Amino acid sequence: MEFGVWTKGLATLAVDCLVVGVFDEAGLGGEARGVDAACGGRLQRLLGAGDFAGRAGETLLLTDMTGLAASRVLLVGLGTRAQHSRRSWRRAWGSAVTALARTRIASVALALDRPAARELDDYTLGRAVAEVAGASLYRVNDLKTGKKPPPPALKKVLAGPVRKAEAATRGFCHGAAIAAAAAVQRDLANLPANVCTPTYLAEEARALAGRHKSLTARVLDEAAIRREKMGCLLAVSQGSRQPPRFIVLEHRGGKRTQPPVVLVGKGVTFDTGGISLKDPPGMDEMKFDMSGAAAVIACLTLAAELRLPLHVVGLIAAVENMPGGKAVKPGDIATSSAGLTVEILNTDAEGRLILCDALHYARRFRPAAVVDIATLTGACVIALGHHHSGVMGNDQKLVQQLLEAGVRAEDRCWQLPLTEEYAEQLKSNFADFANVGGRDGGAITAATFLAKFTAGLPWAHLDVAGTAYQGGANKGSTGRPTPLLADFLIQRAGR
């Protein structure tokens, strides 16, 4: 996809289609009025007849336009002017792209009214144009036999009006990279678990490193994982026929001495719950339990693509959680690589078990920041629903940076408290602590468990159980929190 800015009058632009906005109640947007004048008032007549209300998400394609160099106009509802925001702008553009994808339109000039500049400056506009276009054109890589629908024709988008073309262009570049990275996460997470195994994830990481000069991949097999004494990770993995993998994916952009940002991903390629077996309804969705790992691979792709002057390390603990004959049992005690013992009271609380060994591994990098990403708890979904990811950590500055990155990227997270009282719930009679702390505050007790392994590290945890994928009719990976993490990395790189 090609992105650019338009500068001269919309009516004279030789593109296939003009995309203009209509406000609910307030009528034609600013740019739409100029277009209306050029085409002899056709748009105003249509609104007058009550055929288009301008409701958010509404679109109408007009063909055979006269008086314009473009033969088509796509009207897009912006909702009410008072509620116009960065979010509603992105939604409007998203519905426009969805409508365009059903046509043969290959090039558009986009002139949707922007909210206040502080909501959407030229850089943010450029980024939103490219990111939303990419996200809206994403198609699941399905295994349906039969004829595939033709790929969308849309190839070229000109945005405007823009004051600083250079800022918008930088936005296009970042937005396209974010969309591509989110698609990497979505493609991986949407794969069935019989394809996407720990070994498959490791091969993907290796292949990715082969394509980018700044990236290196190291894969620890089961024997190497044993040498690292990752007893908790191995306890989860032992019930499966699929061998575990521990993946170290490294992007070297900044100076050699720069302490890295370490991203740690939960890569449970399927979570049956183990001996503490899950209920059958919806269990297929547990193929998405490697979304954190997929986000890490996505973010390293982005760091390499944008050549970010940063040192980024991705750590992925990849396992399958199965109830095989050798499976770990409730009450079994495992010893983590940090040397702490854990009584595994519930084998379905496996994410924290693999993450505690991965987080301990992060120490050797003397990191500037560690962020783990995990579909960790159903309790987080109960607490926050599907709109915000949960964030907790031991370093408020880092948590704040993630909160702000989420706002900028329209991929928000919300902080839950992580105070010492919750540690009480993890007490065990037989080991240093238990892996579960009861139902109450489940997202927090899970993070409290991880905090035991991150003392002295600047660390934050993203629980994306409610945001990384959707169920229902549109079942599939959302690509979250890759946009949030991408923004976080871009900010850190000072780009």
Task: Determine the Cα angle at 263 with ends 257 and 269, to 5°.
Answer: 145
Report the residue number, 204 or 350, with the smaller CB distance to ligand BES.
350
Collapsing DSSP to helix, strand or coil, 469 comes out as: strand
Of 297, 299, 313, 349, which one interacts with ligand BES (CB under 6 A)?
349
Of 176, 379, 402, 485, which one interacts with ligand BES (CB under 6 A)?
379
Q: Which two tokens stand for residue 431?
A: 């080991």
Query: Which of the ranges 202-210, 232-240, 349-357, 392-400 carries the binding residues for ligand BES, by CB under 6 A?
Result: 349-357
Binding mask 459-488 for ligand BES (x = CB under 6 A): ------x-----------------------
348 binds ligand BES (CB under 6 A): yes
**Which residue matches tokens 């780009």?**
495
Collapsing DSSP to helix, strand or coil, 127 comes out as: helix
Report the residue number, 206 or 278, with the smaller CB distance to Mn ion.
278
Q: Are 390 and 159 in contact (CB under 8 A)?
A: no
Catalytic residue selected from 352, 452, 480, 492: 352
**CA gap 70, 10 in Å, rounded:** 9
Rg (CA), the chain: 24
Q: What is the DSSP letter of 192?
A: -
Sequence-ordered list of residues with C-beta below 8 angstroms from that of 424, at least 6 positions apart, any chain: none
Query: Which of the ranges 58-66, 102-110, 180-188, 343-351 carries the binding residues for ligand BES, by CB under 6 A?
Result: 343-351
Residues found near Mn ion in the complex (CB under 5 A):
271, 348, 350
Report the residue number, 201 or 310, with the smaller CB distance to ligand BES.
201
What is Dmax (Cα atoms) for the chain?
82
Number of Cβ within a 10 Å radius of residue 25: 11
* Nearest distance, CB of residue 484 and ligand BES, angstroms: 18
Report the residue number, 46 or 196, with the smaller CB distance to Mn ion.
196
Query: Which of the ranges 63-71, 240-248, 344-352, 423-431 carries the binding residues for Zn ion, by CB under 5 A?
Result: 344-352
* Nearest distance, CB of residue 326 and ligand BES, angstroms: 19
Beta bridge partners of 390: 414, 463
Q: What are phi and psi for residue 60, nearest 5 degrees?
A: -150, 125
Interface with ligand BES: number of residues (CB under 6 A): 16
Known catalytic residue: 186? Answer: no
Catalytic residue selected from 55, 87, 218, 278: 278
* Nearest distance, CB of residue 276 and Zn ion, angstroms: 11
Interface with Zn ion: number of residues (CB under 5 A): 4
Task: Determine the Cα angle at 448 with ends 445 and 452, to 5°.
Answer: 145
Q: Look at the chain and count its residues.
A: 495
- Name the binder of 297 from Mn ion, ligand BES, Zn ion, none, CB < 5-8 A by kind: none
Q: What is the DSSP letter of 306?
A: T
Q: Which two tokens stand for residue 383?
A: 């607490």
Report the residue number, 98 or 470, with the smaller CB distance to ligand BES.
470
Report the residue number, 122 or 348, with the smaller CB distance to ligand BES.
348
* Nearest distance, CB of residue 264 and ligand BES, angstroms: 15
Binders in 236-295 for Zn ion, by CB under 5 A: 268, 271, 289
- What is the residue-wise DSSP string for 51-91? S----TT-EEEE-S-SSSSSSEEEEEE---STT--HHHHHH
463 binds Zn ion (CB under 5 A): no
**Which residue matches tokens 């954190």?**
292
**CA gap 191, 143 in Å, rounded:** 10
Known catalytic residue: 213? Answer: no
- Name the binder of 379 from Mn ion, Zn ion, ligand BES, none, CB < 5-8 A by kind: ligand BES
**CA gap 286, 320 in Å, rounded:** 10
Binders in 43-72 for ligand BES, by CB under 6 A: none
**CA gap 88, 25 in Å, rounded:** 16
372 binds Zn ion (CB under 5 A): no
Catalytic residues: 278, 352
Which residues of the chain form contacts with ligand BES (CB under 6 A)?
271, 289, 346, 348-351, 375-379, 381, 436, 442, 465
Which residues of the chain form contacts with Zn ion (CB under 5 A)?
268, 271, 289, 351
